[in-house]
């Protein structure tokens, strides 16, 4: 509890918590470049958490949750802007 192996991942959990809370928000608010960056960021740190000694499973868990949430946000972004979601939303509002 008194090491960076604990407090670093705990404080880092703000990112996936925010992403999970944003899952139901309007897809126009999603930043595609930022979501892509966070997907890559979490992949790198999932690998890092297993490469260091001792292995940091709390950091791995944090980035698994973030990766899942960011992939969901990325799918929502792509669906809205590139796969007809925007057109469906405009058609239903008319």
Average pLDDT, the chain: 89
Distance set, CA 1 to CA 5, 29, 48, 87 (Å): 8, 36, 20, 50
Average pLDDT of the segment spanning 8-35: 87
- The pLDDT-based confidence of 58 (bands split at 50, 70, 90) is confident
Question: What are the residue ranges spanned by the domains of the chain?
Answer: 30-93
Cα dihedral sign for 75, 79, 85, 86?
positive
Specify whether the CB–CB gap between 16 and 69 falls below 8 A: yes
């Amino acid at each position: 509890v008194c090491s960076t192996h604990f407090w670093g991942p705990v404080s880092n959990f703000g990112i996936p918590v925010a992403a999970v809370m944003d899952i139901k928000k309007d897809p126009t608010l999603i930043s595609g470049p930022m979501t892509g960056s966070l997907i890559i960021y979490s992949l790198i740190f999932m690998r890092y958490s297993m490469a260091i000694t001792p292995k940091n499973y709390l950091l791995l868990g944090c980035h698994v949750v973030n990766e899942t949430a960011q992939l969901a946000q990325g799918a929502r972004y792509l669906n809205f802007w590139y796969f007809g979601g925007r057109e469906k939303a405009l058609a239903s509002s008319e």
